[in-house]
């Protein structure tokens, strides 16, 4: 039976274990045995918080994030290497790359986007929740052709005041230029948070993209801190 793997990347200052309850919202039989991993980002100084140390996948120069906000592309690319190591290990254990899904909220969503589009194989999909584009258009030339086939689902609340809705929308022309398929879903009235409606749609979106058997037979990974 097919294996399915879902990697969930948390937002700035959060942790993997704090996000584990999200798994309980995915109740469909097709995902009942899916293997989930909720890693925690390392502790790093963060520029937008005056250099305060907190869990952060990469440095964030400015929040709220809006169209034109500065980015630290080099630290993003370093974080991507660590995400790719997790994916490589999962695929080595027998999971079809197209049954590997990465989901992330806010900073985790930004890292999801970068990780998916720079991976050398086509994955099942990348779900970006209230995220942003953490790289410049010059990176497009580095997207492997197989990565461009990975579908992106972008969910964003219209009332988001931390990562502005317009900043999310700004991803669309860039992704179109790169030849990447992106479904953008706006959630009216939603701020910088996750709604049950949003999670239900992500669940159905993943189910539609599963390859092989509709059943999943997966090993549960230890939920542990990564990226040391």
Sequence spans of domains, the chain: 4-226
Would you say 168 and 197 are in contact if contact means Cβ atoms under 8 Å apart?
no
pLDDT reported for residue 50: 94
pLDDT reported for residue 220: 32
pLDDT reported for residue 166: 97
Give per-residue burial for 112-151: e unless 16+ CB within 10 Å, then b.
Answer: bbbbbbbbebbbbbbbbbbbbbbbeeebbeebeeebbebb
> Which uninterrupted H or E stretch holds 108?
helix 107-117
Reading the block at residue 7, the tokens are 């990697």
- Confirm whether 138 is a catalytic residue: no
- Annotated catalytic residue within 35, 56, 130, 192: 192
Contacts of 80 (CB under 8 A, 6+ apart): 111, 114, 115, 118
- Confirm whether 160 is a catalytic residue: yes
Average pLDDT over residues 59-78: 96
- Please check the confidence at residue 227 and state whether its pLDDT lies above 60: no
Would you say 18 and 112 are in contact if contact means Cβ atoms under 8 Å apart?
no
Taking CA 125 as the corner, what is the angle to CA 123 and CA 127, rounded to the nearest 5 degrees?
A: 145
| Structure confidence by residue, pLDDT tens digits, 76-130 | 999 999 999 999 999 999 999 999 999 999 999 999 999 999 999 999 999 999 9
Right CATH for 4-226 from 3.40.50.1820, 3.40.50.150, 2.60.40.420, 3.30.420.10: 3.40.50.1820
| Structure confidence by residue, pLDDT tens digits, 13-54 | 999 999 999 999 999 999 988 999 999 999 999 999 999 999
- The pLDDT-based confidence of 1 (bands split at 50, 70, 90) is low
- The pLDDT-based confidence of 223 (bands split at 50, 70, 90) is very low
- Please check the confidence at residue 224 and state whether its pLDDT lies above 70: no
Separation between Cα atoms, residue 10 and residue 221, nearest integer Å = 17
- The pLDDT-based confidence of 57 (bands split at 50, 70, 90) is very high
- Annotated catalytic residue within 106, 115, 130, 155: 106
- Please check the confidence at residue 216 and state whether its pLDDT lies above 90: no
Quote the strand ranges of 32-83, DSSP E: 35-37, 43-46, 52-55
* The model's pTM: 0.90
- The pLDDT-based confidence of 213 (bands split at 50, 70, 90) is very low
Contacts of 171 (CB under 8 A, 6+ apart): 113, 128, 132, 133, 154, 182, 184
Reading the block at residue 37, the tokens are 């991993």
Strand pairing of 52-55 and 43-46? Answer: antiparallel
pLDDT reported for residue 125: 98
Nearest-Å Rg of the Cα atoms of the chain is 16
- Annotated catalytic residue within 10, 14, 156, 160: 160
Quote the strand ranges of 10-135, DSSP E: 35-37, 43-46, 52-55, 100-105, 125-129
Separation between Cα atoms, residue 148 and residue 141, nearest integer Å = 11
- The pLDDT-based confidence of 226 (bands split at 50, 70, 90) is very low
Cis bond upstream, residue 64 (ω within 30): yes
| Structure confidence by residue, pLDDT tens digits, 180-207 | 999 999 999 999 999 999 999 999 999 9
- Confirm whether 228 is a catalytic residue: no
Would you say 28 and 123 are in contact if contact means Cβ atoms under 8 Å apart?
no
């Amino acid at each position: 039976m097919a294996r399915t793997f879902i990697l969930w990347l948390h937002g700035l200052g959060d942790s993997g274990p704090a996000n584990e309850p999200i798994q309980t919202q995915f109740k469909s039989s097709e995902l009942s045995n899916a293997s989930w991993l909720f890693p925690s980002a390392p502790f790093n100084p963060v520029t937008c918080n005056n250099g305060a140390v907190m869990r952060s996948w990469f440095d964030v120069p400015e929040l709220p994030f809006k169209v034109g906000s500065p980015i630290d592309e080099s630290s993003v690319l370093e974080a991507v290497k660590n995400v790719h190591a997790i994916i490589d290990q999962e695929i080595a254990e027998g999971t079809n790359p197209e049954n590997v899904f990465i989901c992330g909220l806010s900073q985790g969503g930004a890292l999801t986007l970068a990780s998916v589009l720079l991976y050398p194989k086509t994955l099942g999909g990348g779900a970006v929740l209230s995220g942003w584009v953490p790289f410049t258009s010059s990176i497009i030339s580095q997207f492997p052709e197989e990565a461009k086939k990975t579908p992106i689902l972008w969910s964003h609340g219209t009332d988001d005041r931390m990562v502005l809705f317009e900043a999310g929308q700004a991803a669309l022309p860039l992704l179109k230029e790169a030849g990447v398929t992106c479904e953008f879903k706006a959630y009216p009235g939603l701020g910088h948070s996750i709604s049950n409606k949003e999670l239900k749609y992500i669940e159905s979106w993943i189910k539609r993209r599963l390859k092989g058997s509709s059943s999943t037979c997966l090993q549960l990974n230890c939920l542990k801190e990564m990226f040391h």
